[in-house]
Structure 1
């Protein structure tokens, strides 16, 4: 049992190192040697836990999606209404903790590998489904079931599109600008009379404020490092 626990901890450490290597050097230059350097271990240790770069790449995908999932869960703790829970999902996808130029540029490289890596495909499909399910759950408070499903799919596509665009453009896309793109889409898909608009704006403001504090806190970063 202890051996399995140590192995799991080591794999988590190497996954974090691989994630960092991709951000620092880009996908092509993120060699197993560089992963070992960041983790403070030899290439042999890396190979002991991940048989090749393809397996390590899958671990990077899992790591990035875990960070996103943890961000949503953390913001949910402070969301008290359907409006705030919807905005918790949106803000978590574009929080400054993960939505920054270096991560966005790395993400473009990573997703280009998805068609060629079955493990990465599984991780990405699971992540897309989780986002869709979360969105549908909250959108049903505003729309009939069928419309909620369609709106969730379109919002999911928009989230992916903003990430890709941010990774391709030479100028950085700010977290606030990305969230505003989502707000525009929400205003067109959901009931958005004067009262609803005010509630959405209040919810966005609250959750963004919470995200700046909670997702940037040492406690949250420490927990995410252990994942």
Structure 2
């Protein structure tokens, strides 16, 4: 394995360790030392790959967003109609790989700090913009523009709310339940 591949593996290992630490200890208590220990590396190793803790956290948030987008692309790729594509965009937000306690909790920690962290804020705004664009792309094909806009706003809030609800410790909200709630919103907009 070459040097570049090793560097990439270490970075990925640090990102995965960050996810574990933020889920276990929370944002503020996820120290460089804890992250390094989970990754099986020294604290100094982190600084060879990231300038500081915030850079590592931003890279982790970008990684999570990439996973969300990959899941969406996968769902849209198998859909046959625009309605199915729209359903796929919605369902992808509740895919078991994403809509689990660990993923939602970590995303929520980063989302909560977006107000004070410009890097997180950019990633959060990008995430919101991409979701709205995907929803709007298909909704406007069979809804009047004002209805499509209202639907996109409504479903975006529902997705955010369900993720927040699921991030709560002890939540019994399942991926299937969340998807059914969101799909119910779509059904209500599709009825004549």
Give the TM-score normalised by the residue count of structure 1: 0.75
After TM superposition, the structure 1 = structure 2 runs for residues 34-49 of structure 1, keeping only pairs within 5 Å, are 34-49=34-49
| Cα distance between partner residues in 2 of 1:44 and 1:152 | 45
Question: Secondary structure of 2:115's match?
Answer: helix
| Cα distance between partner residues in 2 of 1:172 and 1:30 | 26
Aligned residues: 191
Q: Which runs of 5+ in 2 are unaligned?
A: none
Kept in 1: contact 2:94–2:175 (CA 8 A): yes
How much does 1:3 deviate?
6.5
Kept in 2: contact 1:19–1:64 (CA 8 A): no
Residue matched to 1:183: 183
How much does 1:4 deviate?
6.3
How much does 1:111 deviate?
1.7
Residue 111 (structure 2) pairs with residue 111 (structure 1): yes
Residue matched to 1:97: 97
Kept in 1: contact 2:165–2:171 (CA 8 A): no
CA RMSD of superposed structures (Å) = 2.1
Question: Secondary structure of 1:116's match?
Answer: coil
Residue matched to 2:52: 52
CA shift digits 1:204-227 (9 cap, x unpaired)? xxxxxxxxxxxxxxxxxxxxxxxx
Residue matched to 2:148: 148
Question: Secondary structure of 1:30's match?
Answer: coil
Question: Secondary structure of 1:171's match?
Answer: coil
| Cα distance between partner residues in 2 of 1:77 and 1:24 | 34
Change in 2 beyond 3 A, CA 1:127/1:43? same
How much does 1:51 deviate?
2.2
Residue matched to 2:134: 134
CA shift digits 1:83-106 (9 cap, x unpaired)? 221111111101111111233333
Residue matched to 1:192: 191
Kept in 1: contact 2:91–2:179 (CA 8 A): yes
Kept in 1: contact 2:32–2:46 (CA 8 A): yes
Question: Secondary structure of 1:115's match?
Answer: coil
Give the TM-score normalised by the residue count of structure 2: 0.88
| Cα distance between partner residues in 2 of 1:16 and 1:170 | 23
Question: Secondary structure of 1:35's match?
Answer: helix
| Cα distance between partner residues in 2 of 1:126 and 1:171 | 27
| Cα distance between partner residues in 2 of 1:120 and 1:23 | 17
Residue matched to 1:210: none
| Cα distance between partner residues in 2 of 1:49 and 1:125 | 25
| Cα distance between partner residues in 2 of 1:52 and 1:172 | 36
Residue 16 (structure 2) pairs with residue 16 (structure 1): yes
Residue matched to 1:29: 29
Kept in 2: contact 1:101–1:173 (CA 8 A): no
